[in-house]
Each structure stands twice: as C-alpha cells, then as structure tokens.
Amino acid sequence: MTLEELNHAVDTGMIDTLIRVDEARQVKRLSHIADNITTNPDIEVVLIAGGSSSGKTTTAVRLETQLMVNGRNALHLSTDDYFVGDARNPRDENGKFDYEHVECVDIPALVMDIKTLLKGGSIRKRRFDFINHVPTYAAGELTLPQYGYVILEGIHALNPRLTEGIDRLSKYSIYIDPKPNVDLYNGLYLSSRQARLIRRLVRDSRYRKMSPLTTIGMWDSVCAGEDKWIIPFRGNADAVFDSYLSYEVCVLKPFVMDLVDRIHQEGATDVPFISDLKSLMIEVRGVNDLKVPGDSIIRETIGGSQLDY
C-alpha cells in the first residue's frame, strides 16, 4: 500500500474497512498460533518476546483469548513486573543503568514462580513501579487455571537464561516484530525500529511521564540492548507475529505532531529522526482514535484499551 492509497482511504471513508481488515488479519494469525499451541500436549509455557513497543502485552492478552476459543485457559505474566529496580539494576561500562540487561529481571524469583504455578501452587502478584523504579506487590494471588498455560511476555522472554530449569519441550516461543507495509515515497518504508520508536515516543509521554527528548536520548541504548539481548535469540521462535497496522500512522499523527511541537518548544530544532518524522506526518491524513477497536495493539500506545493488562 502507498501513502497516497492510505490517504485516499481516509478521504473516502474506506479507512473503516481497512481498519477492520488489518485487525482481522492479526486475529487470524493469532488463531493459527493458538491452534499450534493447543495441539501440542507437551506445551505448558508460552514465551512472547520482541523489541520495545512491539506490542507484546496486547498480543499476550489477545492470544489468551484465542486459547480460550480452543477451550484452554492461560495466566499472563510480564517480565517487566519482575524488574529488580534501580537498587540492584546492572550498570553499563559508563556506570549508567543498563535497563536492557537480562539481569534487570529477578530471574530466580521468576523461575520459581513459574514452577510453582505449573505445580498447581499460588504466587503473589508482582508489579513494577515505573515512576519510582522499584518492585512492588499487588493485592491478591495468582493460580494457574486447570489445564492452563503460563504466558510470559517481555523483551528477554526468548533468552533461555530467563526460564532456566524449565523443559524446552514444554515451551512455545513467539517473536513479535512490526513490519511497516506502507510505501511512504518511491519505495521508502519505515523500518521496524522507526515504527517502534514512534510508538514509544507516544507511550512514554502518556504513561511514563517522560519527555520525548529523554525517550530519543535513550533510543540508541535501547537498540544496542536489543542487538545484544534480543536479536540473538529470535531464531529460537516457533512463530513470528507481525504487529504492525497499516493505518496506525494515521491514528498516531496528532499525538506525534504534539510531541514534535513540544520538542521545538524546548529549544531542540535539529533532533535526529524528528525533523524527518514531522515532514512525514504532515503528508499523512489523520484519523480520530475513536475509530480504533478497544482491543487493538495500537491501544497499548495511545490508551483506551478495553483489555485488562
């Protein structure tokens, strides 16, 4: 699809159909993955990994629904909730916090909790406070439903280190990678990382109280961490899921333009990628986010999801 065709869909009202088709395509793929899982009697743990802002959390919840369609239940855990916090977080060679390191996760606690669940026991519900960077516990306990799966999602989920001691044959791995499919100009497409950076800029601003300049300043480190901790293990995946939505640039446009204005107001006028992003977004027709389904992956970025995270 070209940008011209995408804009034409917005102008003519066909964007509603495009949204439905995009969303249905992802549901169909998740249904196929769920079929593969439920037809293998050895699988007990489903691992979902991908780079920052690839849509791991929403994918995990939607996969849980597809497993229920097949008569099976699941319990969703996030590696983010097992972060050790700044007091124990590894640092890089410059002494700065390395938030991409696998040891950011409390691996012994995570493995113990998974094993406890698989044996029919209960665990305390963990949460991570991203504002104060400390691990916490939420009210209540978690127990795996009968004949249920543990779904574990997070950037390190495919790294064998994260689930040491759990039988490989009992694990099914999914790698999430948004693959932009809109030809912006004469064969120019966003890269997966550019698409995810756009998502993350919006998400960090809305939910982590982070300025866009801070997000951009961290991005090189995020990508370096992905190269070191995620990319080497994507070959372990039993399935790959494309989380990109061709219409998402239309929905993200007003959010991105607001962030670009904020960057300029802060006096930064020559930020890598941002100038090009503004030029791109000017050419994109915007779409009201009310058109986005409540269970869409892009809701993880813009908010308003009907899913329980």
CA dist 156 and 100 (Å) reads 9
| pLDDT tens, position by position, 16-41 | 999 999 999 999 999 999 999 999 99
- Residue 131 — pLDDT band, cuts 50, 70, 90? confident
Residues in contact with 90: Cβ distance below 8 Å, sequence separation at least 6, in sequence order: 97, 98, 101, 103, 104
Within 8 A by CB and 6+ apart from 95, the residues are: none
Q: Which of 297, 308, 246 is nearest to 55 (CA)?
A: 297
In a domain, 307, yes or no: no
Q: Taking residues 214-242, what's their average pLDDT?
A: 92
Q: Who contacts 289 (Cβ-Cβ below 8 Å, separation ≥6)?
A: 251, 302, 304
| Amino acid 285: pLDDT | 96
Which pLDDT score is estimated for 125?
93
> Does residue 64 register a pLDDT over 80?
yes
Q: For residue 277, what pLDDT is reported?
A: 87
Q: Assign residue 158 the CATH number of its domain.
A: 3.40.50.300
Counted domains in the chain: 1
- Whether the CB-CB separation of 56 and 154 falls below 8 Å is answered with yes
Range of the domain at 74: 3-302
Which tens digits make up the pLDDT trace of 249-295?
A: 999 999 999 998 888 787 776 777 888 888 889 999 999 999 999 99
- pLDDT of amino acid 261: 85
- Residue-wise pLDDT for 191-215, tens only, equals 999 999 999 999 999 888 888 888 9
- Taking the C-alpha atoms of residue 231 and residue 143, their distance in angstroms, rounded to an integer, is 32
Q: Is residue 308 part of a domain?
A: no
Task: Report the predicted TM-score, pTM, of the whole model to 2 decimal places.
Answer: 0.92
Pull the structure tokens for residue 6: 């995408």
State residue 269's pLDDT score: 66
CA distance 36 to 208: 36
Question: 165 by DSSP, 3-state: which?
Answer: coil
Q: Is residue 81 part of a domain?
A: yes
pLDDT of amino acid 133: 87
In a domain, 226, yes or no: yes
